[in-house]
Amino acid sequence: METGEDDEVVVVGGGVIGLTTALVLAERGRRVRVWTRDPAERTTSAVAGALWWPYRIEPVALARAWALRSLDVYEELAARPGETGVRMAEGVLGETGLDEAVAWTASRLPGLRAATAEEYRGAGLWARLPLIDMPAHLAWLRGRLEAAGGVVEERAVSDLARVPARVVVNCTGLGARTLVPDPSVRPVRGQLVVVENPGIRTWLVSTGPSAGMAYFFPQPGGLVLGGTAEEDAWSPEPDPATAEAIVRRCAALRPEIAGARILAHRVGLRPAREAVRLEREVRPDGRVVVHNYGHGGAGVTVAWGCAREAAVLAEG
């Protein structure tokens, strides 16, 4: 152990979970370094849609509490969308009932109502939710972390035991499968298409069984179209046939999407697990490892709630 490292925390992983956790620790007065194999713009987090709403995350009761804590933060950050990348945006949650939404949000969201027939062809819910421009938000997180004294370094980690810090926070997402190792962490592949926005200002998520999953989110860089949820699929390369199907499904919901110019194709591998692992592990040599991974498709939704719990665990 090198001198001066006893009070330092190393957060391994530089996606939204890692950066948010590091920021919370730094603003609680800890000396923090983030070690990340890839820069934030090449993480799965950068590919996310990213709408605040639960998706593929367990356990539900804890996820709900983490999500509501995160909602408080996002509502505050939405006052400065140009700076933070967070804004409150209106749209439709297809195949979602009012009772289900109220149960999830504990009546925290005013204005929830059934979608009209003009807004959505099936049963759905009109809502105003945080929508995050992830490239902007990740850059903001890093800037605020550095302002609080934190440091971000591009360093690959192959063994948590060799990280020279008394406290290590493991926010490696899918990387935890081999790093811990934890074979219960599996990829759920998501493919997206970014098109030139033909003037759409509201978002929509549809999970109708006949048409399959379809969603679109208006972001500053274009209209983000999705998506897929392919279990145990590892390919990071966009599939042309899948991309065509995504555009087709979204155009069935909004016909003007059909002629939109394609700007980019993206793929992200969601770190799925039967339940989020958020716990403190004390190693035989006295080192503490706090695990914070396995958030599936809801990392953005629960990031701040999980970060605050991880920070408490790191402090013992």
Per residue in 258-301, pLDDT (tens digit) is 999 999 999 999 999 999 999 999 999 999 999 999 999 999 99
CATH number at residue 171: 3.40.50.720
- Binding-site positions for FAD: 44-45, 157, 172, 296-301
Residue 124 falls inside a structural domain: no
Residue 105 falls inside a structural domain: no
Average pLDDT, the chain: 94
User: For residue range 22-40, what is the model confidence (pLDDT) as tens digits?
Assistant: 999 999 999 999 999 988 8
pLDDT over 70 (residue 209): no
Residue 121 falls inside a structural domain: no
User: For residue range 47-100, what is the model confidence (pLDDT) as tens digits?
Assistant: 888 999 988 788 989 999 999 999 999 999 999 999 999 999 999 999 988 888
How open is the CA angle 53-311-139, to the nearest 5 degrees?
A: 60
Residue 174 falls inside a structural domain: yes
Residue 252 falls inside a structural domain: no
- Binding-site positions for D-dopa: 215, 270, 297
Residue 273, helix vs strand vs coil: coil
- Which residues, 6+ apart, have CB-to-CB distance to 233 below 8 Å? 187, 188, 189, 269
What distance in Å separates the CA atoms of residue 112 and residue 244, rounded to the nearest whole number?
A: 33
pLDDT over 50 (residue 309): yes
What distance in Å separates the CA atoms of residue 207 and residue 95, rounded to the nearest whole number?
A: 6
Tokens at residue 216, please? 């679109």
pLDDT over 80 (residue 243): yes
Using only C-alpha atoms, the chain has a radius of gyration, in whole angstroms, of 19
- Binding-site positions: 44-45, 157, 172, 215, 270, 296-301
pLDDT over 80 (residue 4): no
Phi, psi (degrees; rounded to nearest 5) at 217: -130, 120
What distance in Å separates the CA atoms of residue 272 and residue 260, rounded to the nearest whole number?
A: 32
For residue 208, CA distances in Å to 104, 188, 190 come to: 20, 19, 17
Give the total number of structural domains in the chain. 1
Residue 212 falls inside a structural domain: no
Q: Which of 32-41, 173-182, 209-218, 235-244 has the lowest mean pLDDT?
A: 209-218
Residue 142 falls inside a structural domain: yes
- Tell me which residue range forms the domain holding 80: 1-88+130-183+274-316
Residue 306 falls inside a structural domain: yes
| Per-residue pLDDT at 1 | 38
